[in-house]
Chains A and B, each alone.
Chain A
Amino acid sequence: MATRLGRLRRWYAVTIAVLMLAATSACTASVTGAAPAGGEPVRGGELTYLDAEIPVSALIQEQGTWQDRALFWNLTDRLIYRNAQTREFEPWIAESWTVSDDGLRYDFVIRQGVTYSDGTPLDVESVKRNLTRQIYGDKAKGIAKNYAFPDEAEITTDPATRTVTVRLRQPWAPFLGALTGWAAGLVADSVFALPREKQSDYTNLIGSGPFVVESVRYGKAYVLKRREGYAWPPKSSPNQGEAYLDKVTVIPVQEDSVRLGTLRSGQAHLLRYVQPSEEKSLAKDGYRVIARSGVGLANQWPLRQNVWPGNDFRIRKALQIGIDRDQIIKDLYTENWSVASSVLSPGTLGYLDLSKEIAFDPGRANALLDEAGFTGRDADGYRVKDGRRLKLRTYVDVFDNTAKALFQHIQAQFKTLGVQLVLEETDYTSYGPTVNADPAVNFTRTGWPHPDPAHGLWNVYSSKRTDALRLNGADATLDRLLDSTLRAPSAQAEGAALAKAQKYLIENALTIPILNDTQVYVGARSLNGFTLSDGGLPEYQRAWLAQR
Chain B
Amino acid sequence: MTRRSFVLRRIAQSLLVIYLSYTLVFAVLFVLPGNPIKDKITNPLNPLPEAVVKPLLEYYDLDLPLWQQYLVTLKRTVTGDLGYSLVNGRPVTEVLAQGLSETLVLASIALAFSVLLALGISLTAVFFPVAAVRNAVRVLPAVFLSTPSFLVGFALLVVFSFRLGWVSSIRDEGFVSYVLPALTLAIAVNAPISQVLIQGLSKAKGEPFVTVLKAKGVPAFTIAGRHILKNGSIPALTLTALTVGDLLAGATIVETVFNRTGIGLITEQAVREQDTPVVMAIVVLVSTLFVVINLVTDLLYPVIDPRITLAARRSPRQRRGSLSRRGRRQVVAG
In the complex they form, do A and B come into direct contact, defined as C-beta atoms under 8 angstroms apart? Answer: yes
Residues of A within 8 A of B (CB): 1, 4, 7-8, 11, 14, 48, 50, 56-57, 59, 62-64, 137, 139, 141-145, 147, 196-201, 218-221, 251-255, 257-258, 261-262, 264-265, 267-268, 399, 427-437, 444-446, 448, 459, 465-466
- In the complex, the answer to whether B34 meets A220 with C-beta atoms within 8 Å is no
Instruction: Number of B interface residues at 8 Å Cβ cutoff, please give it.
Output: 57
What separation, in Å, do the CA atoms of A478 and B109 have in the docked complex? Answer: 63
What separation, in Å, do the CA atoms of A198 and B94 have in the docked complex? Answer: 13
- In the complex, the answer to whether B170 meets A251 with C-beta atoms within 8 Å is yes
Partner of B272, one of A199, A219, A264, A428: A428
What separation, in Å, do the CA atoms of A4 and B152 have in the docked complex? Answer: 9
Residues of A within 8 A of B91 (CB): 197
Known: A64-B46, A218-B261, A255-B256. A137 touches B52 (CB 8 A): yes
Q: Write the nearest CB–CB distance from A368 to chain B, whole angstroms.
A: 28
Residues of A within 8 A of B259 (CB): 220, 251-255, 258
Partner of B55, one of A143, A199, A399, A432: A143
Residues of A within 8 A of B235 (CB): none
- In the complex, the answer to whether B157 meets A261 with C-beta atoms within 8 Å is yes
- In the complex, the answer to whether A142 meets B59 with C-beta atoms within 8 Å is yes
What separation, in Å, do the CA atoms of A408 and B186 have in the docked complex? Answer: 38
Known: A147-B52, A220-B172, A267-B171. 20 other contacts (CB 8 A): A4-B155, A7-B158, A8-B158, A48-B170, A56-B88, A57-B88, A57-B89, A63-B46, A142-B55, A200-B88, A218-B88, A251-B259, A253-B259, A258-B259, A261-B158, A261-B162, A431-B44, A432-B42, A432-B43, A436-B42
Q: Write the nearest CB–CB distance from A463 to chain B, whole angstroms.
A: 13
- In the complex, the answer to whether B55 meets A430 with C-beta atoms within 8 Å is no
Residues of A within 8 A of B44 (CB): 399, 431-432, 435, 444-446, 466
What separation, in Å, do the CA atoms of A367 and B45 have in the docked complex? Answer: 35
Residues of A within 8 A of B49 (CB): 147, 465
Partner of B56, one of A142, A199, A253, A430: A142
What separation, in Å, do the CA atoms of A221 and B260 have in the docked complex? Answer: 11
Residues of B within 8 A of A (CB): 32-36, 38-49, 52-53, 55-56, 58-60, 84, 87-91, 94-95, 98, 147, 151, 154-155, 157-159, 161-163, 165, 168-172, 256-259, 261, 272-274
- In the complex, the answer to whether A466 meets B40 with C-beta atoms within 8 Å is no
- In the complex, the answer to whether A261 meets B169 with C-beta atoms within 8 Å is yes
Residues of B within 8 A of A196 (CB): 59, 89
- In the complex, the answer to whether B169 meets A262 with C-beta atoms within 8 Å is yes
Residues of B within 8 A of A255 (CB): 256-257, 259
Closest to B162 in A: A265
Residues of A within 8 A of B47 (CB): 459, 465-466
Partner of B261, one of A56, A219, A429: A219
Residues of A within 8 A of B162 (CB): 11, 261-262, 264-265
- In the complex, the answer to whether B34 meets A429 with C-beta atoms within 8 Å is yes
Residues of A within 8 A of B147 (CB): 1
What separation, in Å, do the CA atoms of A295 and B117 have in the docked complex? Answer: 55
Closest to A141 in B: B59
What separation, in Å, do the CA atoms of A50 and B169 have in the docked complex? Answer: 11
What separation, in Å, do the CA atoms of A196 and B88 have in the docked complex? Answer: 10
**Most chain A CB inside 10 Å of its own CB: which residue of B88, B155, B161:** B88
Residues of B within 8 A of A433 (CB): 33-34, 38-39, 42
What separation, in Å, do the CA atoms of A166 and B32 have in the docked complex? Answer: 44
What separation, in Å, do the CA atoms of A399 and B46 have in the docked complex? Answer: 11
- In the complex, the answer to whether B170 meets A267 with C-beta atoms within 8 Å is yes
Partner of B161, one of A64, A141, A253, A265: A265
Known: A255-B256, A265-B162, A430-B33. A50 touches B89 (CB 8 A): no
- In the complex, the answer to whether B256 meets A254 with C-beta atoms within 8 Å is yes
Closest to B163 in A: A11
What separation, in Å, do the CA atoms of A375 and B154 have in the docked complex? Answer: 52
What separation, in Å, do the CA atoms of A268 and B90 have in the docked complex? Answer: 28
- In the complex, the answer to whether A142 meets B171 with C-beta atoms within 8 Å is no
- In the complex, the answer to whether B46 meets A258 with C-beta atoms within 8 Å is no
- In the complex, the answer to whether A429 meets B39 with C-beta atoms within 8 Å is yes
Residues of A within 8 A of B165 (CB): 265
Partner of A56, one of B40, B87, B170, B256: B87
